[in-house]
Amino acid sequence: MKLFRIRGGIHPDDRKQLAAGQAIEDLPLPALLHIPLQQHIGAPASPAVRRGQRVAKGDLIAQGQGVISAPVHAPTSGRIMGVGSYPAHHASGLSVPTVTLQPDGEDRWGDQIQGVADPFALDPDEIAARVGAAGIVGLGGATFPAAVKLNLRKKYRLHTLVINGAECEPYLTCDDRLMREQADAIVDGIRIVAHALGVKQIIIGIENNKPEAQAAMAVAASIDPTIRLARLPARYPMGSEKHLVQTLTGRETPARGLTADIGVVVHNPATAFAVHEALRFGYPLVSRVVTVSGGAIAQPRNLRVLLGTRVQNLLDHCGGFREEPARLVSGGPMMGQPLPSARVPMVKGSNGVLALTAAETSLSQPMPCIRCASCVQACPCGLLPLELAARIRAADLEGAVRLGLMDCIGCGSCAYVCQANLPLVQFFNYAKGEMAARGRAKQKQAETKRLIEQRAARIEAIQQAKREAMAARKREADAKKKAAATTQAATAETEV
């Protein structure tokens, strides 16, 4: 199919050969699972179990709260050891609400697990409800609740479903292996998603550095004439949702808008596989495929990991380290987050664990910007990273916003080509966070002002009511006095 050129982008050494040849294997059951209640964008789930409770695999252990949320299920059967706090799978290392589960070794599914014989006989609302109940979120890393995306059909006129099989981040091969090994199941999940969205066109985009995945998906997709396979150039950040849609359709998503604004919804192959598992068999999302790679890893692998498994268990299964890593990263090296330690648990959005050597990490000291404009050429969003960084360093965050800061996707292409080794992505992330904090503070001030005004209006209304009541009583008393005086005068006149 015809592809459209997008601006910017880079061609980093993908280093996928480290793990691409390794078939997916199941990680053995760990001694303990630490399952965070916040594994998705939106409100955290609320615990639905108590200490000492026995649970089966797939049992609900935390209920989603609100529209943008997702439930959490037991990854295996066992006993709840506690509901407390545990370090998060996040660079901060802060503790978050977590359910600790001790596996019993039986890995027994609960009795309530039941699939649907024909998912295509269900109406879209029922499919979305089942996907939501299964706790499925975007497994490409965004972790947006999948059921919310399925319900976009109610608000937008959708016509195309795009499956993002680009997996453009270096090192990561979990989607590649999943598409090779589970192509039929993924296509089934894709068709179920398309049925729920009511779209008539499906495009599967896979980069050309994954020929085996392209071949497997092409064969599996041949059963449905509405599915087209797009062979994408290996170029970072091809996996960016908006840039992928522009490459495939030639249409640009509005600034700070959704691809749904132009009639397109994007899902990940792993998400489609999870939908297949949920609808066909009734399995909630309790595990995911993870790439463990990097120059410091003794045996890079692709592992199917139960959610809540500590990163250390994955590292041990891969033979530990060849050498002490300079950095431990969750996700890819471009947009991933450094991990504070190997104690943290795996979550729904963690598609990779990288142990990078000093040679693989650019730890050179930053120098003054030489205004070579390499960052401008690399930026896929058409921004001016050098000007954004200058504004941010001068504390002119509003100026950075006017130059398009909020359109930055944080892909790191600018930092990759920066000859001065400037931490551009860190500048931009700091500025976004600061602007978000200012926005929250401003919103809080506005809300406080509104509440104060409401209170003042309420007090004034009460006082006004009191004044009116007092005036009414005074009028009533005056009327009584007047009536009494009139009566007394009339009596006196009669007596005379």
Q: Judge contact between 127 and 149, C-beta under 8 A.
A: no
How many whole angstroms from its chain centre is CA 274? Answer: 15
Using CA atoms, how far apart are residues 210 and 231, in angstroms rounded to an integer? 9
Distances in Å between the Cα of 15 and the Cα atoms of 11, 58, 88, 173, 325 are 12, 36, 28, 10, 17
Residues in CB range of 161: below 8 A, 6 or more apart: 190, 193, 194, 197, 199, 201, 202, 203, 264, 265, 266, 267
Side chain identity at residue 469, one-letter code: A
What are the φ/ψ torsions at residue 137 (nearest 5 degrees)?
-130, 170
Work out the number of other CB atoms within 10 angstroms of the CB of residue 492. 9
Distances in Å between the Cα of 302 and the Cα atoms of 19, 291, 459 are 7, 4, 65
Q: Judge contact between 314 and 223, C-beta under 8 A.
A: no
**Residue 372 marked in a binding site:** yes
Whose tokens are 């500025």? That residue is: 431
Sign of CA dihedral 115, 119, 125, 131: positive
Q: Fill in the DSSP letter of residue 477.
A: H
**Residue 414 marked in a binding site:** yes
Residues in CB range of 227: below 8 A, 6 or more apart: 187, 190, 191, 202, 203, 204, 221
Q: Judge contact between 333 and 296, C-beta under 8 A.
A: no
Q: Judge contact between 265 and 159, C-beta under 8 A.
A: no
Using CA atoms, how far apart are residues 248 and 262, in angstroms rounded to an integer? 13
CA 207, 143, 111: angle at the middle one, nearest 5?
Answer: 110
Whose tokens are 């209006």? That residue is: 457
Using CA atoms, how far apart are residues 182 and 354, in angstroms rounded to an integer? 24
**Residue 408 marked in a binding site:** yes
**Residue 375 marked in a binding site:** yes
The count of residues in the chain is 496
| DSSP3 helix / strand / coil % (the chain, rounded to 5) | 40, 20, 40
Residues in binding site: 369, 372, 375, 379, 408, 411, 414, 418
Residues in binding site for [4Fe-4S] cluster: 369, 372, 375, 379, 408, 411, 414, 418
